[in-house]
Amino acid sequence: MKRTIPLLIASIAGFVMVVAYFIPLTETWGDKAATWFSILSAVALVLGGGNLLKVHLHTISRQRAGWGYSAVTVVAFLVTVFVGMLKIGVPPSPDFPGHPWAGAFDAEESAITWTYDFIVAPITSTMYGMLAFYVSSAAFRAFRAKNLEATLLLVTAVIVLLGQTYAGVAVSQFLTGVMPASITNNTSWMRFDKLTVVIQDVFNTAGVRAITIGVALGISATALRVLLGMDRSYIGSD
pTM for the model stands at 0.61
Q: What angle do CA 198, 205, 132 make, to 5 degrees?
A: 85
Q: pLDDT tens digit string along 133-161?
A: 887 787 777 777 677 877 888 888 888 88
What DSSP string describes 104-143? -TT-TTSHHHHHIIIIIHHHHHHHHHHHHHHHHHHHHHH-
Look at residue 231 and tell me whether its pLDDT is greater than 80.
no
Look at residue 190 and tell me whether its pLDDT is greater than 80.
no
Question: In whole numbers, what is the pLDDT of the chain averaged over residues?
Answer: 83
Are the beta carbons of 37 and 20 closer than 8 angstroms?
no
Distance CA 27, CA 205 (A): 34
Q: Which amino acid is at 177?
A: G
CA 174 to chain centre: 41
- Return the closest-CA partner of residue 7 out of 236, 226, 238, 237: 226
Q: pLDDT tens digit string along 203-216?
A: 999 999 999 999 99
Radius of gyration in angstroms for the set of CA atoms belonging to the chain, rounded to a whole number:
28
Q: pLDDT tens digit string along 80-101?
A: 999 888 888 888 777 777 777 7
> How long is the chain?
238
Instruction: Please count the other Cβ atoms lying within 10 Å of the Cβ belonging to residue 209.
Output: 10
Higher pLDDT, 137 or 116: 116
